[in-house]
Amino acid sequence: MLILLPPSEGKTAHAEGSPFDLADLSFSQLTGERHQVIEALTEVSGRKDAMDLLGVGASLANEVARNINLHTEPAAKAHDIYSGVLFEALGYSSLSPKEQQRADESIVVISALWGAVRFGDRIPPYRLSMSVKLEPLGKLASWWKKRLTPVLDEAASDQLIVDARSSTYAAAYKPSNGNSVAVNVFQLRNGVPKVVSHFAKHTRGEVARFLVQQDIEPATPDELLQLIQTKWEASLIEDKKGLALNILLPADHQFTTAK
């Protein structure tokens, strides 16, 4: 099973640690492409109009400036760098050693900078969204799509792919093996299912945590549904984008954070 996640927009900086090494990252076939994006990001981040080009506000100037020194910034494992609602719900640090190993083996984070990384890969914090048009590469989702597709299709083979990405990051790779399921989240409001983006991030993190806690991985969409239905109200639907697992939260749903 592969679980595809988006990165968090915010990243946790670390005061100590050696810099990253491209040669040590998973999916080594992407080394050349990663180098190209780093070069482009370094150049753009040093420009006066960097904030506009990267689509961020003035409050994030320090994070953009950090892009210029990626090769010297302290790096840490991806599960320590990515933060935010989804990753807090996943709660990697509170998983058992066996569960953490499953997370390291099954979770792939789709990244505008790295293309794809696993939880054990050491990376520095950075600021770059997949929605950015990065000179001279163009729109990153399109640029990465043709490069990620053969690499991730090979990594996935015929495994079940549980796709918990946001639409921005889903645009960079569409699984081709016919055994993938997107995770959608709705909440009942006045008796009607409504899309809830904040709850969606949190619930997708909970789903990822739940899956790596299982001793037996689901191998098909039907097996995934049966497993998910032991914890959530859920159904499988076929839409124009493919097969989707729709999770329906009750009207009184509240956040719970992994401890």
The per-residue pLDDT for range 21-71, each reduced to its tens digit, is 999 999 999 999 999 999 999 999 999 999 999 999 988 898 899 999 999
Instruction: State the pLDDT confidence band at 192, using cuts at 50, 70 and 90.
Output: confident
For the segment 185-210, the average pLDDT, to the nearest whole number, is 88
The tokens of 27 are what? 């999916």
250 falls in which pLDDT band (50, 70, 90)? Answer: confident
**232 vs 240, residue with greater confidence:** 232
Which residues face 251 on adjacent strands?
none
The pLDDT tens digits of the residues spanning 68-91 come to 999 999 999 999 999 989 999 999
Q: How does residue 257 score in pLDDT terms, banded at 50, 70 and 90?
A: low
Helices in the chain by DSSP H: which ranges?
31-45, 50-54, 61-66, 78-81, 85-90, 97-106, 140-156, 167-170, 197-212, 221-228
CA 74 to chain centre: 21
Mean pLDDT value across residues 10-19: 91
User: Measuring CA to CA, how many Å separate 36 from each of 77, 139, 173, 237?
Assistant: 22, 14, 19, 39
Phi, psi of 88 (to 5 degrees): -65, -40
Would you place residue 151 in the very low, low, confident or very high pLDDT band (cuts 50, 70, 90)? very high
From 14-18, 128-132, 175-179, 232-236, the region with the lowest mean pLDDT: 14-18
Q: Can you list the alpha helix ranges (DSSP code H) found in 125-196?
A: 140-156, 167-170
